Amino acid sequence: MIEDWLAPDPVKGFRITEIRNRKSRHGCYVCVETLKKEGPVSMYFFRHQDGLWRIFPPALERPAMRVTGFSTND
């Protein structure tokens, strides 16, 4: 993904500038930075519940209520 999105210079490579794990309030993500002619370019990658890394944060889990054992056939 880093090569696809940032196309880092093979000689200069890239570096991880920030890491947050699942124990953090904001979930699991990394910030990756590479140097271009124009200057530094960085991008965040977020880990989702299915284990995949994406460039957008996962949806927040919200409280939900469910009713079980209810039947309308009475």
Domain boundaries, the chain: 2-54
- Tell me which of 21-30, 53-62, 65-74 is least confident: 65-74
Q: What is the pLDDT of residue 6?
A: 81
Q: What 3-state DSSP class applies to 54?
A: strand
Contact partners, residue 53, CB within 8 Å, separation at least 6: 1, 45, 46, 47
pLDDT for 73 equals 65
Q: pTM for the full model?
A: 0.66
d(C-alpha 46, C-alpha 26), whole Å: 10
Label residue 44 exposed, middle or buried (CB < 10 Å: 0-12, 13-18, 19+). Answer: middle
- Asked whether residue 65 carries a pLDDT value surpassing 70, the answer given is yes
* pLDDT recorded at residue 13: 84
For 27-53, what is each residue's pLDDT tens digit?
A: 789 999 988 888 888 999 998 888 898
Cα 24 from Cα 10, distance rounded (Å): 32
